[in-house]
Chain A
């Protein structure tokens, strides 16, 4: 028999995480057997980072017609609109972008074995791989878990990756290093019971200072900026920011939140969001809408009230004792770069890709990745290079690059030479050529125009002109999204674009809306202005006209933001005149095809997005989990492990009871005695959990097993409990239905 990763990695994966992945694997099996509802399964996999991808509705436009993709699994679905065999995207959470060399190697391996050998760094410091088959995901997760990476809550209506400035700890302008705080908050909220009932996703970011861009706190659901008050550390805290179709600047929640209040406040905010956030209208379900609806004062009042009634949790402050244990160290001693011969292109690279750390003698080196992509081989070799120069001080950035921190200055040329070998020494990090783009039409179902195609084109064109570009525009940021959802963060770019389309001459023509003058600095403090839609093929010309005009006409030291404000929409429109025109198809068909594609443009490939997840209530979710446990107990029984069968079946019943109790008593602890008693008084004595024909019969199953002392786990005893668990869960569903809250 062939080996399996579960056994192979057993000792390396923490037990609870291993068990979660086993459960997910069991749910995949259950789904194949038709035992889980499509919607519940969709949200289940999304919360494991297993996302749909373009064409997963089982069809694709080939340039002439839309053809069905005849997958072997036929009409088995993994979500309401998502075909089972269709390849999907796996999002991998990298809290604050922090990577170790071992993790880089495993990432390289899984991209090779399950994906296409390409790792993609996202605009929120995550890593994505594409074209994954769902049945490979449990092993993929195990291999990641063995090196301390989870994909849990990477998508779905949950707490997404917690981001932080990639320079934290080494930056000149920071107040203090936010890394250990972001780590603590991410750990605390991961899988937290109070974060399982959101109507939408929730994104958190940390920033070390207010003035730089790195943290982008203003565009997050919750953002923290490091502050010192009376010699004590804390956070200026914001809530309710966000991009998307309706961007919002975050509102000030507190000028100074002390570290011991960070975790409980975040928890209280999550509880208020879970309770009061919109659940039906997906377009208004982010917390930004709740904050806008209530007003920030009322929102703060509610959170403070919630904070008071929450049961005390030692985890709130336990992390404070560990803060001092977080130290980053260099591998090499600090030494200047003395007299080493510099290769010809070294200086140009160093100018843009080297940042001198606050710590004398050390630098941060940026590896610019085109479109955020890196091959498995490069990633593996980069891990080797990293080992040579630094400890595990590596981070992914929101600009879709990778940085090595704590490089001794004396090593910079040698590092550069090594990077050249890997073809990873492209200059221009953080400049106009370092274009950011969302996945767009390449892999996203919602993509309208090709953000990556345009980004690749601009990158090539601008890199060729780079030496001639005026200094005033060299550090511009270009950010592109394939549609208004703004995953490419176009609102906070100098030159932002998002995909749309126009019907012209009987054809649908790919366009981009031009968004100018967004602010990247000061944590994304202001958003750009939309200037009108331009055909995709004319976007390079738009950039040329606007940047030329700015260089020629700006007033002394006038920023691009100020210049756009000054000249206003009307002048910009005039400047872009002529570029909105689309020639007839017979004259120039190229306008009717998008960048990076050869097919005639279509909207026919768009699908229903999974970004909003499925609204599945907490109880439905938990009951579905109980069904999985019950399913697992049946398997144990089949395998002859009667004790495990008995215990798992009991646990399934207990959790079903707990799910019901939680509708009235959110903080019921994970204690069998308490759950059973709460269930007895709240559901049994009140006859809420009461079968029309069988009375309290099903409830008694739970009570009996809870009290039972088993001397020997025989097959008969185990079998009985396995059967009872199934009935109990069915009754729990019925009870929940009658409570009228489905």
Chain B
């Protein structure tokens, strides 16, 4: 298995103008309301840095951020601790977690996410360098999962080629997909 350090980003369709202070408050409320087995720790405001994490919810197992890194605002879920299972299972659980968070934000704030586009990052230059080899190593698992996620629709996955970057795939599916639909499709 290449790595458990998997990040997934979904992009905003609506709600680009929500002020960072609102996200800050929302994430703080999540910490207060939280009663899961995982640990949510703190919220960091980085709205002063351009094209970075705007507002970050730090946890022990994962971080969540409203993220501007590729100049397109979205929700980034970043898994830090292993979550059990093989790569396919971990990937699936990260996508599920990211979708669930997007859905929660959709119910709490005036936002909507586009489900047809996502960015996948393997946050581990040692075990998953940004190479074609890594791509080949995960291809089968990824294709099977995307097939399921998008119900067999055509999907393109493009790898960012600059070697300094982490292994990153920009994935786009044909059709209109909400995160709710994706959740239904996940195994």
Contacts and interface: CB of A to CB of B under 8 A. Distances in A.
A2 B42 contact: no
Contact of A133 (B28, B80, B125): B80
A373 B49 contact: yes
Contacts of A113: 5, 123-125, 166
Contacts of A57: none
Interface stretch (A62-70, A160-168, A279-287, A560-568): A62-70
Nearest to A113: B123
A55 interface: yes
B139 interface: no
B107 interface: no
Interface in B86-114: none
Interface stretch (B9-17, B51-59, B147-155, B170-178): B51-59
Interface residues of A, number: 46
Contacts of B3: 2
A4 B126 contact: yes
A374 interface: yes
Nearest to B58: A131
Contact of A112 (B25, B45, B123): B123
A423 B44 contact: no
Contacts of B144: none
B60 A72 contact: yes
A463 B78 CA distance: 34
Given A113-B5, A131-B58, A60 B41 contact: yes
A677 B28 CA distance: 63
A423 B51 contact: yes
Contact of B46 (A63, A87, A131, A373): A373
A599 interface: yes
A62 B32 contact: yes
A168 B103 CA distance: 54
Contacts of A5: 126
A512 to B, nearest CB: 19
A85 interface: yes
A380 B76 CA distance: 20
Nearest to B3: A2
Given A60-B41, A62-B31, A64-B32, A373 B164 contact: no
B185 to A, nearest CB: 30
Given A62-B31, A69-B39, A116-B63, A371 B127 contact: no
A436 B3 CA distance: 39
A4 B3 CA distance: 12
Contacts of A370: 48-49
A710 interface: no
B25 A375 contact: no
A477 B77 CA distance: 39
User: A4, A64, A117, A459 — which one has the most chain B CB atoms within 10 A of its CB?
Assistant: A117
Contacts of A2: 3, 126-127
Given A118-B49, A456-B48, A459-B48, A85 B28 contact: no
A373 B65 CA distance: 17
A598 interface: yes
Given A63-B32, A598-B21, A598-B24, A118 B48 contact: no
B73 to A, nearest CB: 15
Interface in A369-415: 370-371, 373-375, 377-378, 380
A69 B41 contact: yes
Contacts of A453: 45
A63 B29 CA distance: 9
B187 interface: no
Contacts of B24: 598
B69 interface: yes
Nearest to A598: B25
B50 interface: yes
A442 B48 CA distance: 14
B42 A54 contact: yes
Interface string A455-476: 0100100000000000000000
A665 interface: no
Given A71-B39, A85-B60, A442-B44, A60 B31 contact: yes
Nearest to A62: B32
A596 interface: yes
Contact of B58 (A71, A116, A139, A378): A116
Contacts of B52: 117-118, 375, 377-378
Interface in A425-458: 442, 453, 456
A708 interface: no
Contact of B48 (A8, A71, A108, A371): A371
A442 B47 CA distance: 14
A105 interface: yes
Contact of A118 (B32, B42, B46): B46
Interface in A163-196: none
Nearest to A5: B126
A587 interface: no
Contact of B60 (A71, A116, A375): A71
Nearest to A605: B42
Contacts of A418: none
Nearest to A70: B39
Contacts of B39: 69-72, 85
B180 to A, nearest CB: 28
B44 A116 contact: yes
A55 B53 CA distance: 21
A374 B49 contact: yes
Contacts of A112: 123, 166
6 residue pairs, one from A and one from B, having the closest CB atoms: A423-B50, A375-B52, A370-B48, A62-B32, A598-B25, A2-B127
16 contacts: A2-B126, A60-B31, A64-B32, A67-B32, A109-B164, A112-B123, A113-B125, A116-B53, A116-B65, A117-B52, A133-B80, A371-B48, A378-B51, A423-B51, A456-B47, A598-B25
Interface of A: 2-5, 8, 54-55, 60, 62-64, 67, 69-72, 85, 87, 105, 108-109, 112-113, 116-118, 130-131, 133, 139, 370-371, 373-375, 377-378, 380, 423, 442, 453, 456, 459, 596, 598-599
Given A63-B28, A64-B32, A598-B28, 11 more contacts: A3-B126, A87-B58, A108-B164, A116-B46, A116-B53, A116-B56, A117-B52, A117-B69, A373-B49, A375-B49, A599-B28
